[in-house]
Amino acid sequence: MRVQRHTSGSVRYDKRRKTWNYLWYDGPTRRSKRIGTKQEFPTKAAASKEVESLEIQPKTQSETAGDTVRSVTTRYEAERMPSRQSAARVYRSFLNNHVLPKWADTRIQDVQPRPVELWLRELPLSPKSKTHVRSLMHGLWSLRCGPASWTSAAIQSL
């Protein structure tokens, strides 16, 4: 099991640029925001108060825990859908006809490899199409969970 990171972030002074920066982790991704210069905020406490007023706080586990397959699918279509029209049409077809009817209201964290594997076996598709659907499911899962939470067994199973 992965160790939970400290969720409040930190304020750091960059001596080279002479600026205060707020650093935090948003899931597996490290984020940063420039707060201001030493002249604007002479102390770390002043910079920390500015961070609180800007409301730049990392998402807690409970805020991100409610993502369903439907919401991740919407994000996938906006961010990672292939730009080629024919490929995007096939992806949308797989999503609308196979993935969403079965998994739409399931939380993405609750999608486990074994049930997906059994479901794929039951689909009335050719083996190549099943592989494409499997790859699409893996893309949805990786979009939500990110590479830091992948385990080798989960990657190979999905």
Q: State the pLDDT confidence band at 26, using cuts at 50, 70 and 90.
A: confident
Q: How far is CA 28 from CA 1, 42, 52, 57, 99, in A?
A: 14, 31, 22, 15, 26
User: Residue 62 pLDDT > 50, yes or no?
Assistant: no
Q: Which amino acid is at 30?
A: R
- Packing angle, helices 85-94 and 127-145, rounded to 10: 90
Q: State the pLDDT confidence band at 124, using cuts at 50, 70 and 90.
A: very high
- Domain limits, the chain: 10-64, 69-157
What letter does residue 110 receive in the DSSP assignment? G
User: Residue 38 pLDDT > 90, yes or no?
Assistant: yes
CATH class of 10-64: mainly alpha
* C-alpha to C-alpha distance for 31 and 37, rounded to whole angstroms: 19
